[in-house]
């Protein structure tokens, strides 16, 4: 079963690049792109209500209003117990090792990669974790 992805990033250029990458990968069933953590939480709430929850969430660490860490705090408190197979992929321009350490402190984190997300990086990510587990009904 293909992946359903939510991408959260405030950078329009990054979103255009990431959309090109995501649209070319056959393992992806659908993707939604939003520019804020608040939009993402509303989308997840609606998705949960409909029974159509993404199994991979790609989130930028550095965003205004609600950064990626704050988003994942909300995600893990509100949704992770309901959708334990949904994984987080942090994408970032940050060079701080502390950001990577913090990202891996979350139970839902699958990986941290540097922007931009490329097809090669994404395919390597898919090989690095159990796609069957991601595709189990959340």
Asked if residues 63 and 38 have their Cβ atoms less than 8 Å apart, the reply is no
Gap between the Cα atoms of 74 and 50, Å rounded? 20
Of 25, 27, 136, 21, nearest in space to 87 by CA = 136
User: In order of start, what are the domains of the chain with their CATH numbers?
Assistant: 3-135 (3.40.50.2300)
Asked if residues 73 and 95 have their Cβ atoms less than 8 Å apart, the reply is no
Tell me what percent of the chain is helix, strand and coil, each rounded to the nearest 5. Answer: 45, 20, 35
- Is the pLDDT at 138 greater than 50, yes or no? no
pLDDT at 38: 97
pLDDT at 2: 74
pLDDT at 27: 83
Mean pLDDT of the chain: 89
| Dihedral of alpha carbons 43, 106, 73, 69, sign | negative
Helix (H) or strand (E) holding 51: none
Axis crossing angle, helix 12-23 with helix 119-128, rounded to the nearest 10: 60
Percent share of the chain, pLDDT over 70: 91
Q: What is the CB-side half-sphere exposure of residue 87 using CA atoms within 13 A?
A: 18
Binned at pLDDT 50, 70 and 90, residue 137 comes out as very low
**67-119 pLDDT, tens per residue?**
999 999 999 999 999 999 999 999 998 889 999 999 999 999 999 999 888 88
């Amino acid at each position: 079963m293909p992946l359903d992805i939510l991408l959260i990033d405030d950078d329009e250029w990054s979103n255009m690049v990431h959309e090109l990458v995501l649209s070319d990968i056959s393992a992806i069933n659908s993707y939604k792109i939003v520019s804020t953590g608040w939009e993402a939480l509303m989308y997840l709430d609606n998705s949960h209500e409909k029974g159509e929850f993404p199994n991979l969430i790609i989130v930028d660490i550095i965003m205004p209003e609600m950064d990626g860490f704050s988003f994942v705090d909300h995600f893990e408190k509100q949704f992770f117990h309901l959708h334990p197979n949904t994984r987080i992929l942090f994408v970032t321009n940050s060079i701080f090792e502390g950001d990577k350490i913090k990202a891996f402190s979350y139970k839902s984190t699958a990986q941290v990669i540097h922007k931009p997300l490329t097809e090669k990086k994404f395919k390597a990510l898919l090989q690095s974790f159990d796609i069957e587990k991601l595709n189990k009904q959340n």
